[in-house]
Structure 1
């Protein structure tokens, strides 16, 4: 069944929503009267296509179909999800909801990107307020997973649960608030920091760049992987959070901050902040800054992914969902036909796999082939449980040929041949493809070992049987070009 989402309002946030849905396989319709909407969303999509696929170690679904519509009723008709991202004016939002509900499927979820209004306010005057919820994301929507899901008593529990399931399915983390409140949760925290930062600039304590440095060189890095309370729990030492609260709680009574007050927004203060910001970042265009931001976010989130921590845990869960719906979930016994090379990797090249030449680093070609070997081992039954029981394969020899460049965002596929699977040996030949173009080959000789003795041993019968079946089928194929080559051999 085709999944269809409509984005009403194609600014920075609307464009991010469009990219998040589109790159996760949804058909996306855009309604925005701005004559520049198609260009602007196209630029956001270009950045998303470059960065989002690299967060996953499994290929995203095939991209959905993107269409632009000048008629709102046409845009929302039949859509399962409708995301409103118009300017923060309550009367305007309520007017848009009335127009949406006059034409949309009554079972559709209508989400609002509002950063401040409560759902009960948005629902006032609606034909059916229970259809409207707050789904407030963070920029860039296509990379950052958190989305504040805020409901009111008018929202049926079934609709809220369906909204949460949809958001989870596209790799997001729906934070469902216990109660509705102005500005929700995250923006209330950000507003407190922003308010204090304005005073620090206004009072001449620090510049915009110095304040940003205090965040990105200090607590911002901690917050990225532990948040606020867990960070303070660690700060309490062995005694934990209770000790931290006892030690630092009295400081809350000290007049350190000005959170109940704001500096007057005079022209002089606005000019001061704008001039400092220009000096800090004016050398870069907005699109340059977006790409720098995306590069850094992807690299940090992939680092967290390797530790299965923070946002990385969410990304690994999304990988598992994607893998379960792909050819990468099968075992050898599930494959009726093994007469052709077996797909063992299907993914995009992430940003942090590229080097100073702008293409994929040679070590990453090897990593992709190692991932392919791991997947083939899993396929034939030498999986994590098997390894835990005391048997595994160790790589004895590797040869990689680099035939063409791969770049960030390229969708690659590795297909694996079993050249030999007898006794203690497993001889694999991997081919890496980008569409119809062969990018590289990797040849690996592996030896089955006992993890107890660390010496060669025969594999378990079920593993040997799977290898025998695939080896017999692949023996009918011609020897792949490049198999058996050595370094420096004339082409």
Structure 2
């Protein structure tokens, strides 16, 4: 790969405030909604006369789902503009995500045009579902900054992005793109080689082709095929992929036994793999079957059902991952030899998850109200002191705030008052990191007196540039510290009033 532009030439990810989306279709609009939720200003290029109307519908549809995942606090849903002039759309942007229709000549021409008018230090990503960047970048003057960033629909909910460069793409550009997607909350697979269709689409395509064959041959209906996945292996895949699934199928012998025992069946004619001829009859049968399967549900109805399911699964898998990490850390703790340093108290460079420190204080006379107990306002004060301690622990201390004119602003909070607190009682506040984004933290606090839970607070806080009044990404060193903290979600998080 070429290295015509070196890493220092690319934008500082922390300083990016504006991104450009090329195309206002399902994928481009989904990206726009996601970037808005991340606090960016979004410029969208689309020559269609109804682009703004279409984009409004897409963002409005995506926003409730993003809100369900606590991703929109402090974000401006209306911080977007639509442009028909390409140069205007990319002016001042820090990143470009191309999501034009899947047509090779169109993408090749469009990427060349974007490259010609965009600042040469800006990385350009493509949402292509299967084309290689080598073939798409043939006409570009600066192919070294063109990268595939393949999302999955809907891109505002599905975290996966497959990142790979072409033959002329600089390694540094691929690294930068992978870091950018990661910083905005995506799950990145950085591919070392171009493969037609990438990884996930190749696996999807094999299944899709076999399904079409079965319909074409009258072996199964659309409804049977869908249910064979949703009520069968699909239930395992959100937690363990196909390889681990077969590893478990081998019993105590694992994948080795699976391959030795079932390997010969790979020669059995269970799949055809070659795509069937898409005849008019096959097309009509598939369309009719989908209409039957959808029943009275409209496309928006099906999208809402899909999004609700993805949200529930993401919450469940996040909880399971947190449980797994907790068990792993507990096992690690029980195996620490006497006199050894526990991983959580090792040097800041260690990769083991750590906990946020408890905050402790004592109730003073000024906090007591006319009922003889701590006034509700001082619960807020104590929780605020706990947040200050969290800021110090992750590197947002007073020295940082004064040097960079940035701070953490609470934009949403929910307190539950569970018991009274009296003069002189000692308070212990345990903070938990629920989730973290490029520019925000979701924190939960539990206040206890002698081990008894007396109050909880849940907050969302944004990293704000105090001079401009806008949200900005955490600097790398702070993000790294945050990344070392174990995420968890107490069972009361997300509770509503009443």
Normalising by the residue count of structure 1, what TM-score does the alignment of the two structures yield?
0.66
- Runs of 4+ with deviation above 3 angstroms: 56-64, 309-313, 329-333, 372-382, 415-428, 444-447
Against the structure 1 CA distance between its residues 35 and 278, is the aligned structure 2 distance closer, same or farther, given a 3 Å change threshold? same
Q: For the aligned residues, what is the CA RMSD?
A: 3.5
Q: How much does 1:55 deviate?
A: 2.1
Kindly indicate whether the alpha-carbon contact (under 8 Å) linking 1:427 and 1:445 is maintained by their aligned counterparts in 2.
yes
Pairing 1:447–2:449 present: yes
Kindly indicate whether the alpha-carbon contact (under 8 Å) linking 2:161 and 2:188 is maintained by their aligned counterparts in 1.
yes
Kindly indicate whether the alpha-carbon contact (under 8 Å) linking 1:421 and 1:427 is maintained by their aligned counterparts in 2.
no
Pairing 1:302–2:328 present: no
Pairing 1:263–2:315 present: no
Matches within 5 A, 1:123-272: 123-259=137-273, 261-272=274-285
Query: 1:106-154, CA deviations, whole angstroms, 9 ceiling, x for partnerless residues?
Result: 1111111111111111111210111111111100000000011011242
Pairing 1:413–2:413 present: yes
Query: 1:7-35, CA deviations, whole angstroms, 9 ceiling, x for partnerless residues?
Result: 11111111111111111011101111122
Kindly indicate whether the alpha-carbon contact (under 8 Å) linking 1:111 and 1:134 is maintained by their aligned counterparts in 2.
yes
Q: How much does 1:376 deviate?
A: 7.6
Kindly indicate whether the alpha-carbon contact (under 8 Å) linking 1:6 and 1:28 is maintained by their aligned counterparts in 2.
yes
C-alpha distance in structure 2 between counterparts of 1:420 and 1:380, whole Å: 22
Pairing 1:292–2:305 present: yes
C-alpha distance in structure 1 between counterparts of 2:279 and 2:190, whole Å: 38
Query: 1:400-446, CA deviations, whole angstroms, 9 ceiling, x for partnerless residues?
Result: xxxxxxxxxxx852258997464556599xxxxxxxxxxxxxxx995
C-alpha distance in structure 2 between counterparts of 1:445 and 1:4, whole Å: 39
Q: How much does 1:377 deviate?
A: 10
C-alpha distance in structure 1 between counterparts of 2:46 and 2:32, whole Å: 12
Query: 1:366-385, CA deviations, whole angstroms, 9 ceiling, x for partnerless residues?
Result: xxxxxx99978965989xxx
Kindly indicate whether the alpha-carbon contact (under 8 Å) linking 1:16 and 1:140 is maintained by their aligned counterparts in 2.
yes
Against the structure 1 CA distance between its residues 445 and 330, is the aligned structure 2 distance closer, same or farther, given a 3 Å change threshold? closer
Pairing 1:279–2:281 present: no
Against the structure 1 CA distance between its residues 311 and 166, is the aligned structure 2 distance closer, same or farther, given a 3 Å change threshold? farther
Q: How much does 1:98 deviate?
A: 2.0
Q: How much does 1:251 deviate?
A: 0.8
Q: How much does 1:54 deviate?
A: 2.1
Kindly indicate whether the alpha-carbon contact (under 8 Å) linking 2:109 and 2:139 is maintained by their aligned counterparts in 1.
no
Matched position secondary structure for 1:307 = helix
C-alpha distance in structure 1 between counterparts of 2:198 and 2:167, whole Å: 16
Matched position secondary structure for 1:175 = strand
C-alpha distance in structure 2 between counterparts of 1:258 and 1:277, whole Å: 22
Kindly indicate whether the alpha-carbon contact (under 8 Å) linking 1:224 and 1:310 is maintained by their aligned counterparts in 2.
no
Matched position secondary structure for 1:102 = helix
Q: Tell me what 1:25 maps to.
A: 39
Matches within 5 A, 1:373-452: 412-414=412-414, 420=421, 422-424=423-425, 446-449=448-451
Against the structure 1 CA distance between its residues 24 and 247, is the aligned structure 2 distance closer, same or farther, given a 3 Å change threshold? same
Normalising by the residue count of structure 2, what TM-score does the alignment of the two structures yield?
0.65
Q: How much does 1:155 deviate?
A: 2.0
C-alpha distance in structure 2 between counterparts of 1:123 and 1:374, whole Å: 56
The alignment covers a number of residue pairs equal to 357
Kindly indicate whether the alpha-carbon contact (under 8 Å) linking 1:301 and 1:312 is maintained by their aligned counterparts in 2.
no
Report the more deviating stretch, 50-59 or 150-159. 50-59
Q: Tell me what 2:471 maps to.
A: none
Kindly indicate whether the alpha-carbon contact (under 8 Å) linking 2:238 and 2:317 is maintained by their aligned counterparts in 1.
no
C-alpha distance in structure 1 between counterparts of 2:176 and 2:323, whole Å: 24
C-alpha distance in structure 2 between counterparts of 1:86 and 1:311, whole Å: 40
Q: Find the partner of 1:36 among 50, 55, 66.
A: 50
Pairing 1:71–2:85 present: yes
